[in-house]
Amino acid sequence: MPTSADQDAGNAQYVEYETRGSTAWIWLARPQYGNAQNYRLLNQLDACFRRAVEDDAVKVIVLGARGKHFSAGHDIGTPEKDRHLPRERVLLWPDHLSRDGAEAQYVLEQDAYLGLCRRWQDIPKPAIAMVQGACIAGGLMLANVCDIIVASDDAFFQDPVVRMGVPGVEYCAHMIDLPPKIAREFMYLGLRMGAERAAGFGMVNRVVPRDRLEAEVAAIAEQVAQQPPFGLTLTKQAMNFIEDQRGKRASMDAIFHMHHLAHAHNQVVSGNLVAGLDAKAMARANKADTGKAGIDEADAGDGTPQA
Ligand code: ZN
């Protein structure tokens, strides 16, 4: 049932859009919750990407984030968490609210997570992710649909969902992009990887000081925008094709289905999709692992990752 908080949030703007020259700048704009992603944020993001695609003056897209962190992941605990609300679907999956059992989460995530990310990966214009602070779990999904990732020196990447018994997020490009031994370490330990280390493995293109991040991204975007647009589209298509031939799409399908076996198992065993690990429990476990808070409730509200 929708609550009064839902009504208040009905018109909330979670994503901002602007153009500067040939570049569309799309901003995650929930900094009070570490840009935790609820379903309305994702649909607004999709609308912004569509706007950028349809504007012929836009040659390049930048995906950035307001505040201290890029994204703490999917929303598992803020007051505007909205899994219980109807949502406009993008693909042809049924309404998750009309389904029960494992099917409800499966159809929801086929559309809102795997489906949207694939759609964004296929956008025929180059996209640059501009990452500062935390980029956790669902945050990695958004960064990884972009062609290039530029990170500030304070950025870190983390996919800690093994703690929930889940083998990676729904669009799990980092398990494919990282060298296998490093991916195993990243996933088994679920610890943060700093931007410099991520750049060493090619998961990040460039690392720049925090106060230079936006200027550096703007400069790259302007340079890319000089190229002929259709040439860029075909080059991007070529790269997507190469990655798919290397097994990216098939691997992500396999991971997605294991992810849903884990959700179903958790439901059977604990009655909860993520084994009862709420945002506060994840933040506590993070502190225990790293000995420091980094992103905690003060930074992210309750917006630590959902699997
Ligand atoms: Zn999931």
Do the domain assignments include residue 206?
yes
**105 Cα to the center of ligand 1, angstroms:** 7
Report the C-alpha gap between 7 and 32 in whole angstroms. Answer: 19
**281 Cα to the center of ligand 1, angstroms:** 17
Do the domain assignments include residue 228?
yes
Do the domain assignments include residue 305?
no
Q: What is the 3-state secondary structure (H, E, C) of 200-249?
A: HCCCCCEEECHHHHHHHHHHHHHHHHCCCHHHHHHHHHHHHHHHHHCCHH
- Domain containing 213 equals 4-300
**219 Cα to the center of ligand 1, angstroms:** 36
**272 Cα to the center of ligand 1, angstroms:** 12
Strand 60-65 relative to strand 15-20, pairing = unpaired
**259 Cα to the center of ligand 1, angstroms:** 6
User: Is residue 138 a contact partner of residue 169, using CB atoms and an 8 Å limit?
Assistant: yes
Of 82-86, 132-136, 284-288, least confident by mean pLDDT is 284-288
Do the domain assignments include residue 180?
yes
Q: How confident is the model at residue 61 (pLDDT cuts 50, 70, 90)?
A: very high
pLDDT of residue 205: 98
User: Cβ-count burial of 100 within 10 angstroms (0-12 exposed, 13-18 middle, 19+ buried)?
Assistant: exposed
Do the domain assignments include residue 289?
yes
- CA separation, residue 304 to residues 90, 188, 204, 231 (Å): 25, 18, 22, 39
**Mean predicted lDDT score pLDDT of the chain:** 92
Q: Which of 111, 128, 123 is nearest to 43 (CA)?
A: 111
pLDDT tens-digit readout, 230-253: 999 999 999 999 999 999 999 999
> How many structural domains does the chain have?
1
| Token pair in block for residue 45 | 């993001």
Beta-carbon contacts of residue 195 (< 8 Å; ≥ 6 apart):
131, 151, 152, 153, 154, 155, 156, 157, 204, 207
**227 Cα to the center of ligand 1, angstroms:** 38
pLDDT of residue 111: 98
Do the domain assignments include residue 69?
yes
Report the C-alpha gap between 172 and 159 in whole angstroms. Answer: 9
**69 Cα to the center of ligand 1, angstroms:** 22
CATH number, domain with residue 197: 3.90.226.10
Do the domain assignments include residue 306?
no
**224 Cα to the center of ligand 1, angstroms:** 35
**229 Cα to the center of ligand 1, angstroms:** 35
Residue 178 identity? L
Residue 297 clears pLDDT 50, i.e. is over it: no
Do the domain assignments include residue 144?
yes
User: What global pTM score does this model have?
Assistant: 0.92
CB atoms near residue 281 (< 10 Å): 16
Q: What is the mean pLDDT of residues 150-176?
A: 97
